[in-house]
Amino acid sequence: MEQFTLITASILGGLSVIFGAFGAHALKKILSEEQLKSFETGVKYQMYHAIVLLIIGFNFNFETTSETYMVYSFIIGILLFSFSIYGLVISSAKNRKLKFLGPITPLGGLFLIIGWGLLIVSIKTGF
């Protein structure tokens, strides 16, 4: 589980750099300022949580199910939260807004919150 967490964190962190550069350069020409800020929010949250996953991967032994669920919660949260924002922003810029992605963003946020809650549980029980 440690290796899975570290590899996944590395992939998500690398992708956030790619998406950030894509947003700052390629999308800057086609997005409004508000859309660009939304896209940047997705990139920031993806990077923040990739860093958290790296820290978790280096510091946890994954001896409890809550530690494993914590990692999965963060990963699912990143994918649902950040990637739904990317989809919403890019699709709205092309006048084909994918409205079904709207409810997915807060669901991703909920998974991120669950991940943080499970981190508290793991710390309190002496990870």
Q: What is the pLDDT of residues 30-67, one digit of tens each?
A: 888 899 999 999 999 999 999 999 999 999 989 888 99
CA atoms of 89 and 20, how far apart (whole Å): 13
Q: Which of 69, 87, 67 is nearest to 77 (CA)?
A: 69
pLDDT in 10s for each residue of the chain, 127 residues: 999 999 999 999 999 999 999 988 888 888 888 999 999 999 999 999 999 999 999 999 898 889 999 999 999 999 999 999 999 999 988 888 888 888 999 999 999 999 999 999 998 886 5
**pTM of the predicted model as reported, rounded to 2 decimal places:** 0.91
pLDDT of residue 23: 87
